[in-house]
Amino acid sequence: MSQHSTARRAAALVGASALLVALAGCSTPPATGGADEAVPGISDDTVTIGTHTPLTGPAAAGYASISAAATAYFEYLNDNGGVHGRSIEYLVKDDGYNPATTQTVVRELVQEDEVFAIVNGLGTPTHTAVLDYLTQNEVPDLFVASGSTNWNQPEKYPYTFGFNADYVVEGAALAQYAADEYPDKVVCLLGQDDDFGDEMIEGAELALGADGLAAVERYSVSNQDVSAQIGAMKAAGCEINILGTINGFTALAIGTAAQLGWFPTWFSSSSGANYETLVGYLGEEVGPKLLQGLIGTNYLPASGGDSEWVSLFREINDEYNDGAVFDGNTVYGMSVAYLFAEALEAAGENPTRASLIEAVQSGDLGGNGILPLSFAEDSHAAYLGVGITAVDQGVQDYLGATYAVEGGSVAAVDPAPVALSGEGIPGS
């Protein structure tokens, strides 16, 4: 099981401090570009960045729309002057959610396209496959689209930063909400057979204790049949099922249970709780019925809410994204694109890879979440807390409960949403 432990956080403190000392001791760190050396991906009028994401394959239906939404935001930003007069060019490469393909396309982005940074590479198994490569080449690896705690290891991966609330946080928040609101219910968990599942279990046990889960089942994305796992959970008398699943397997689990005539309460990580995507898998006829009451987590403006961020993103979606379906993925993609633009603005008029890293870990970025960002010299995690959401009559919005995980414990906290400023254009 992945160790999201005090030891890791202590090591992060030591390692990040060492990194800062090294940066301070060099006017130009290796591979960042000296005064007379071109910075990869930076020209007088453009900043070129890239990502890997599943435009095809088993995860495409759940996640392909994220990069399209990010691209739409960048087009909006470019039409409004860009960042320090530079337009952002976002190169999106399909990896099919296949780690081997991820290695190929990321090498293309770094060696052939010479991107300034990799931004929002998607997936735990896929991004893990390129983590060492990006570190060795000192490429800023920003805002990974996965909740794995691997991205929060400043001492080992000084150029990598997460974006999602990590899976330990999500697992703990969902389990704590179950304990608070349904104290007598039998709680179980279905998780992916990698760090995603491991860390969801770790978080749930943080809230419920080592024996708090009545049953734990695992699945592999290579086998789209979870009948055995769902049957075992039904036999165990599970009443609340926490899901550490990507969208396709969330739908598969709920649909399989329905076929068995079993209708427990479902709690899902944000990675597998996008309502519109799930309806697409389950069908318009039965999907809304099966998803009524689905509990999830989120840390960004809710697509079903009425925040100023959502209003702006809807306008951008209509104008720059061909009026694509507006959902949680849209908000996610535009939110991460905004955060990159904010970091780039803070990196200065003539950014280097070093100044970009310094901007992210400065602690000065605001983002647009419901809680403050956690980036710092000793932390490469974005959000250490989440709000609880629910689906009600097709609308997915916050319930009001918010939890944070720090120091090995989970606690209820008050949300503190970041207000929209400057029409969503950093520096304006």
Together in a domain, 268 and 352 = no
Cα gap 118→140, rounded to integer Å: 6
Together in a domain, 181 and 118 = no
400 C-beta neighbours (distance < 10 Å), count: 9
Pick the closest to residue 310 from 300, 319, 324 (CA basis): 300
In order, the DSSP letters of 56-95 are SSTTHHHHHHHHHHHHHHHHHHHHTTTBTTBEEEEEEEE-
Buried b (16+ CB within 10 A) or exposed e, 20-46: beebeeeeebebbbeeeeebbbbeeee
Amino acid identity at 251: A
Provide the pairing of β-strand 240-244 with 216-219.
unpaired
Is 14 a domain residue?
Answer: yes
Together in a domain, 103 and 51 = yes
Name the DSSP class of 145: B
Is 359 a domain residue?
Answer: yes
Provide the pairing of β-strand 87-94 with 46-53.
parallel
Together in a domain, 257 and 356 = no
Together in a domain, 215 and 356 = no
pTM, rounded to two decimals: 0.88
Q: What is the pLDDT along the chain (428 residues), one digit of tens a residue?
A: 443 433 333 333 334 333 333 333 333 333 344 444 799 999 999 999 999 999 999 889 889 999 999 999 999 999 999 999 999 999 999 999 999 999 999 999 999 999 999 999 999 999 999 999 999 999 999 999 999 999 999 999 999 999 999 999 999 999 999 999 999 999 999 999 999 999 999 999 999 999 999 999 999 989 999 999 999 999 999 999 999 999 999 999 999 999 999 999 999 999 999 999 999 999 999 999 999 999 999 999 999 888 999 999 999 999 999 989 999 999 999 999 999 999 999 999 999 999 999 999 999 999 999 999 999 999 999 999 999 999 999 999 999 999 999 888 999 999 999 999 999 999 98
User: Of 383, 406, 421, which residue sits at a domain end?
Assistant: 383
User: Percent helix, strand and coil across the chain, each rounded to 5?
Assistant: 40, 20, 40
Torsion of CA 281, 228, 216, 172, to 10 degrees: 10
Provide the pairing of β-strand 385-392 with 295-298.
antiparallel
Together in a domain, 289 and 310 = no
User: Of 298, 326, 351, which residue sits at a domain end?
Assistant: 298
Q: Return the SS3 of 387.
A: strand
Together in a domain, 260 and 369 = no
> What CATH number is given to the structural domain containing 175?
3.40.50.2300
In the numeric block, the tokens 């983590």 are attached to 131
Using CA atoms, how far residue 298 sits from 93, 163, 315, in Å, is 26, 12, 22
Q: Where are the alpha helices (DSSP H) in 122-194?
A: 124-136, 167-181
Q: Which domain holds residue 176?
A: 167-298
Torsion region of 72: left, alpha or beta (phi above 0 gives left; psi -120 to 50 gives alpha)? alpha
**Number of domains into which the chain is organized:** 2
Work out the angle between the directed axes of helices 328-346 and 60-79 (0-180°, nearest 10): 40
